[in-house]
């Protein structure tokens, strides 16, 4: 791609690309969009045209960053819904049990290269290697400015709902594709004017990029009386020196002689919960990997360092009951604040919950995230379902 120079002179000052989005004129060119100028097409359609007419088609990024002492937990993400013409983003910051959230909404419009939604404005510095996450001024007291660096090999894969899953009115079954990774970050996060600064040795985490037909998109109106679930059996995101586990995949460092990625073929869970809330506190997970090896991993939650993902639109927001993909309005920003020391608050927020934990395996201790679906995980243990039991 060529660069422009002032006054057309060779050697002159290079102009920065224009960041102005003129939606009025883009609309005249529908279905073309700025991204169509890039040589990236995979079908004969313009990029703005989704591969399926299903309204639940989505593109999504998500990232979680945390320290290793249990003071700071940050989650941010955003989604585009091309068939609904909506875009949304969220940020959740938990500092020592003070839980703050911002959510932003707008029309998607023509320029899908523009990730900004309200004050949430990430940029892709270098694909598969470096993102910049930014949250600007807002009314809810949280801000951040972080550079993220990928450190584990990402591998594309796809998953689909089980065969025979009902597909109302002929819709395609839920299918998601994408990749995941682990890395480190540097920069700062801020709550109520108190800034926490980090270098890459003190802030770690994981991120993903998924797209396809989204489970739960649009809320109850799009799911014809079916019970909406904020997740499936939960997630677990842990990175050790020699391997990392993301859900049911095993990821390695760039350059590792082991090809591609590995798989977790079986997980057995022994879990302990808060009696008054049924929220996870401690657990031991036994993983069987596809190479025949086994890993026993101990998780223990750090205080009240949990990100409650209902505040990020997973399963309906706590007070407004807004779901992913729902139209809220043009250029709308909202948020909330909660004190997690109150068990009643924790119980009311519970759903898809991301718990910051001390994690130990084979004598190595680090921190990571366990995401059971609560109270489903408690009920699975209480019922003695295969692979689920209470931690004695």
DSSP state of 382: H
Q: What is the mean pLDDT of the chain?
A: 88
Q: Does any domain span residue 351?
A: yes
Whether 40 is in a domain gets the answer: no
Residue 375: asked if its preceding bond is cis (omega within 30°), the reply is yes
Task: Pull the structure tokens for residue 125.
Answer: 């510095």
Is residue 117, in this structure, part of any structural domain at all?
yes
**If you average pLDDT over residues 248-271, what whole number do you get?**
94
The total of structural domains in the chain comes to 1
pLDDT at 91: 98
Residues 307, 94 contacting (CB under 8 angstroms): yes
Whole-number Å distance between alpha carbons of 369 and 375: 17
In a domain, 23, yes or no: no
pLDDT confidence bin for 141, thresholds 50/70/90: very high
Assigned domain for 20 exists: no
Is residue 122, in this structure, part of any structural domain at all?
yes
| Contact predicate 73/84, CB 8 Å | no
Q: What CATH number should be reported for the domain holding residue 263?
A: 2.40.370.10
Residue 46, Cβ neighbours under 10 Å: how many? 15
pLDDT surpasses 80 at 163: no
Q: How far is CA 53 from CA 50, 96, 110, 339, in A?
A: 7, 44, 17, 42
Phi then psi for 170, rounded to 5 degrees?
80, 5
Beta bridge partners of 87: 80, 106
3-class SS at 18?
coil
CA nearest neighbour of 23 among 112, 121, 124: 112
Peptide bond into 31 cis (omega under 30): yes
Residue 153: how many CA atoms within 13 Å on its side-chain side? 17
- Check pLDDT > 60 for residue 86: yes
Confidence (pLDDT) at 17: 44
| Residue 31 belongs to some domain of the structure | no
Question: The domain containing residue 106 runs over which residues?
Answer: 55-390
pTM (2 d.p.):
0.88
Query: Does position 39 have pLDDT exceeding 90, yes or no?
Result: no
Query: What is the Cα–Cα distance from 249 to 37, expressed in whole angstroms?
Result: 35
Token pair of 95, please? 């500092």
- Is residue 65 in some structural domain? yes
Mark out the alpha helices in 222-375 (DSSP H runs). 343-349
């Amino acid at each position: 791609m060529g660069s422009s120079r002032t006054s057309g002179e060779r050697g002159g000052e290079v102009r920065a690309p224009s960041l102005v989005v003129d939606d009025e004129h883009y609309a005249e060119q529908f279905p073309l969009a700025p991204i169509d100028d890039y040589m990236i097409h995979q079908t004969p359609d313009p990029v703005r045209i989704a591969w399926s007419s299903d309204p639940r088609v989505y593109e999504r990024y998500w990232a979680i960053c945390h320290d290793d002492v249990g003071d700071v937990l940050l989650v941010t993400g955003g989604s585009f819904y091309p068939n609904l013409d909506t875009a949304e983003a969220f940020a959740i910051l938990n500092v020592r049990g003070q839980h703050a959230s911002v959510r932003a909404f707008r029309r998607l419009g023509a320029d899908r290269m523009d990730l900004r939604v309200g004050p949430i404005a990430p940029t892709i510095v270098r694909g598969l290697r470096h993102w910049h996450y930014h949250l600007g001024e807002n009314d809810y007291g949280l801000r951040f400015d972080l550079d993220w660096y990928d450190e584990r090999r990402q591998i594309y894969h796809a998953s689909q709902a089980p065969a025979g899953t009902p597909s109302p009115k002929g819709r395609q079954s839920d299918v998601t594709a994408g990749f995941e990774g682990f890395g480190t970050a540097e920069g700062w996060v801020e709550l109520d004017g108190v800034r926490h600064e980090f270098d890459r040795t003190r802030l770690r985490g994981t991120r993903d990029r998924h797209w396809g037909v989204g489970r739960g998109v649009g809320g109850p109106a799009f799911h014809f009386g079916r019970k909406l679930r904020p997740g499936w059996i939960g997630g677990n995101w842990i990175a050790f020196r020699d391997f990392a586990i993301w859900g049911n995949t095993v990821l390695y460092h760039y350059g590792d002689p082991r090809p591609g990625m590995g798989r977790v073929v079986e997980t057995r869970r022994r879990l302990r919960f808060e009696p008054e809330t049924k929220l996870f506190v401690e657990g031991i997970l036994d993983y069987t990997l596809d190479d025949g090896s086994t890993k026993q991993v101990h998780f223990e939650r750090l205080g009240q360092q949990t990100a409650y993902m209902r505040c990020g639109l997973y399963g309906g927001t706590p007070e407004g009951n807004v779901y992913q993909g729902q139209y809220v309005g043009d250029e709308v920003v909202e948020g909330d604040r909660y004190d997690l020391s109150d068990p009643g608050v924790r119980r009311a927020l519970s759903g898809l919950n991301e718990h910051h934990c001390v994690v130990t395996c084979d004598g190595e201790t680090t921190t990571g995230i366990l995401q059971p679906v609560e109270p489903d995980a408690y009920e699975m243990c209480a019922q003695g379902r295969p692979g689920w039991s209470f931690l004695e």
